[in-house]
Structure 1
């Protein structure tokens, strides 16, 4: 029979044994093994096995990347993090990122796309069809990406799409169309108090939707945009595989959007003939591939819809937020774009693109400050990046914001907004540290269209309206960016943050 002292000693001995085991594991993982394998990426230590840095990754991924880089000596060599049992390689050096782009066979992008499309409901059998290579060595996905470039890169097809956008945005940016949830209140007949965030959202997403899919999609589901915004604000939860009970609103919104596209595909083609070339080509190519079920075809159109809509309206919001909080900058830019408007009020896009250097600098700097893109790849075979050996079946992340705030490239005030940074140094846009849209063969094809969308909105607003910052005290301060949400793109404002404008039509319009 155990004595009372012995009984008391058992829990204590278990604790001592557990602590010894933990210390042995920690010493091996973060002291001994790194010494035995100096060629392997150094790992940021953590306390809880398997869980690793999960909480920091979900709560503030960019903050975690910065902390890890600095903790490990700020050498900008590839390092690693453990998140829920998965070891992730992190590349923050421009040279290493270029090396990743060049090693497309050993560090693949297709596994990432397969995983993404799987989260949207595409089955493995469908994905196999999309990624199998034909006799020319190209898959359906390769061909579709090429088609997306044809639609989005400068040329006839982009000109046609731009004309649709121009007409749609032009129609929205009129005094009579400034109504609905966008308007918070009216002050007489010639002034309205407006939510800037809602204004940017409504105009740009509605205009893009009609340009790509025609009018019939929104006629079928007039609430589609409202549903999409619910999904878009929480879509990061999909990337992290949140269970349904923890992300009901996001999953329900996703389901409603996919239903809208299924109903859209069920319409006679005659009713969808005003859709863009890429939307029609994507549908026809899926038919040719044998992807005929609505449950498999509609998510692909929804993915296209999300890609074209998720960043531009937020970027436009931040551009205007910086302008309205800097009166001299607002006046200077308004004067610069004035010559873009010809007799009769018609707008010259070539003038905006080629003859407005301050507008271009504002756009680049706002994008640099507000965009937190993360390039993702999967290591498919042993490869060396920099001086580090990477093992297969590991995911590699390239958080480009780690380069966008490098003071050695962007100056000592790299963490601050400077509207004329790119005006003073035009070479910054060609820097290997500047990766707004990724790089290599997977560079985002929508970069040309996004610029045109934002330019059109800004120019028409400044030409047709007088705007002032409303409110006082806290209501007038610059809105906070929600940097803790791992959106992988342009950040939105913290919930409840907005810019409230007083808007009046200019007398000559």
Structure 2
């Protein structure tokens, strides 16, 4: 037997032995630990699947273990990750806030945006309002975004700017693809993005931010298009566009933070964040900008995507569009310029609400995350300290047990027919526990505002430059967005709009 053959046989034997030990013997000896979803290459594990098709690897892992929803584990570049899909187990994770820590995941997010370990130590010291800066900021964000006078103020600013921006003569720039007689053909994706991001800048940061960077909106869009790469901490040469765009945004916010408060004219939550940074003595310009950029990203990433999908579903279904418009009609009061009865939309439009929840269910791909601080039992599985816990909520949203045999299909009356679904343990479009997103109230209001103004102010028709029947865009689940999914490239929908008489 030659040397090459010996090497091959030895390698094969070692690989087979590793497989038997890792996926057969070890689970038999330790039934209390989550079983590992098998992989071919030691250490490397499921890295390719996690980068390219995160949702699919969760689905396949669950299926591999017979869809029992037991906690299982994935290995990615030597790191073992626990995957929790059972709703009752997820609820238990939320309850174990001390041993399953959310703050440890927040640290990773802050590091990804360029904050230093020294700054992070400062903002996690319990010296600010008898708590740490991050906890206080989350509490303030809840006060800003939960129903009340502060949310009313932001809502009014949003509506005023949406109303001003959605004027026929204001619709211009790269989002306009052609100018047929009496109309304009726009990219629905770019239209939603430009109006809603610009309106968020107006409501939370004021126009003064554009003085710091006239291209702030475009720079954020460039970052957002590749933001899924951020958690993987790729070297800068491998994600030059993403890092470059994020850097421009942070530098602009850093410059804006140096303006006098009277010039900034920021929302209450932003002023609270700035005062808190002063109090915990975070003085570095870039560090302060990076912290506020986290909020900037939070209020801008998902709402315009959700608007895009809502309008897409309506424009591709004329019957549904007519039903929703009829229900919304009383809220559209044109006696006062820009007036809109938001409370009517929230309280008296059950079909709109069901439609909105169903679009969320179909399009959101959020993943909850925790770090195991000490050995913890969840269900009948022992989670070891130091491991990360992932909760892919999308798995529950497509579960037939909770959402019916047609769970894989879009059904705009699903939540109308069964009002208990929004209270289901399997319903987690905005996460849960300590990380339950306070922005969920504002997101609904943004979408409702945009839909009403667009649908009652303009004639809207799907457009195809080659006169073929337009195709409904396909969700792009290739990348782990961690929020509302985007359409696949090239499927961002063209709409011809004209003034409604």
- TM-score normalized with structure 2 length: 0.97
Match of 2:354 in 1: 361
Deviates more, 1:483-492 or 1:132-141: 132-141
Measured in 2, the distance between the counterparts of 1:477 and 1:60 equals 23
Match of 1:67 in 2: 60
Query: How many angstroms does 1:175 deviate by?
Result: 1.5
Q: Does 1:486 align with 2:486?
A: no
Deviates more, 1:60-69 or 1:467-476: 467-476
Q: State the Cα deviation string for residues 83-114 of structure 1 (Å, max 9, x = none).
A: 11000000001100000000001100010001
Match of 1:262 in 2: 254
Measured in 2, the distance between the counterparts of 1:348 and 1:136 equals 38
Match of 1:460 in 2: 453
| 1:62–1:153 distance in 2 versus 1, CA, 3 Å | same
Q: Contact between 2:158 and 2:199, CA under 8 Å: does it hold in 1?
A: yes
Query: How many angstroms does 1:270 deviate by?
Result: 2.5
Measured in 1, the distance between the counterparts of 2:378 and 2:90 equals 9
Query: How many angstroms does 1:269 deviate by?
Result: 2.5
Measured in 2, the distance between the counterparts of 1:73 and 1:43 equals 14
Gaps of at least 5 residues in structure 1 are 1-7
Q: Does 1:185 align with 2:178?
A: yes
Q: Does 1:441 align with 2:429?
A: no
1:499 corresponds to which of 493, 498, 501:
493
1:298 match: secondary structure? helix
Measured in 1, the distance between the counterparts of 2:105 and 2:436 equals 14
Q: Contact between 2:44 and 2:76, CA under 8 Å: does it hold in 1?
A: yes
| 1:104–1:473 distance in 2 versus 1, CA, 3 Å | farther
Q: Contact between 2:212 and 2:253, CA under 8 Å: does it hold in 1?
A: no
| 1:473–1:372 distance in 2 versus 1, CA, 3 Å | farther
Q: State the Cα deviation string for residues 190-219 of structure 1 (Å, max 9, x = none).
A: 311111111100110000011000110023
Q: Does 1:245 align with 2:229?
A: no
Q: State the Cα deviation string for residues 3-48 of structure 1 (Å, max 9, x = none).
A: xxxxx61211121111111111111111100000001101111110
- TM-score normalized with structure 1 length: 0.96
The structure with the largest alpha-carbon Rg is: 1
1:342 match: secondary structure? coil
| 1:343–1:205 distance in 2 versus 1, CA, 3 Å | closer
Q: Does 1:331 align with 2:322?
A: yes
2:495 match: secondary structure? strand
| 1:22–1:286 distance in 2 versus 1, CA, 3 Å | same
Measured in 2, the distance between the counterparts of 1:455 and 1:112 equals 32
Count how many residue pairs are aligned between Structure 1 and Structure 2. 498
1:184 match: secondary structure? strand
1:93-108 to structure 2, matched below 5 A, reads: 93-108=86-101
Q: Does 1:56 align with 2:49?
A: yes
1:347 corresponds to which of 336, 340, 353:
340
Q: CA RMSD in A?
A: 1.3
Q: Contact between 2:128 and 2:276, CA under 8 Å: does it hold in 1?
A: no
Match of 1:9 in 2: 2
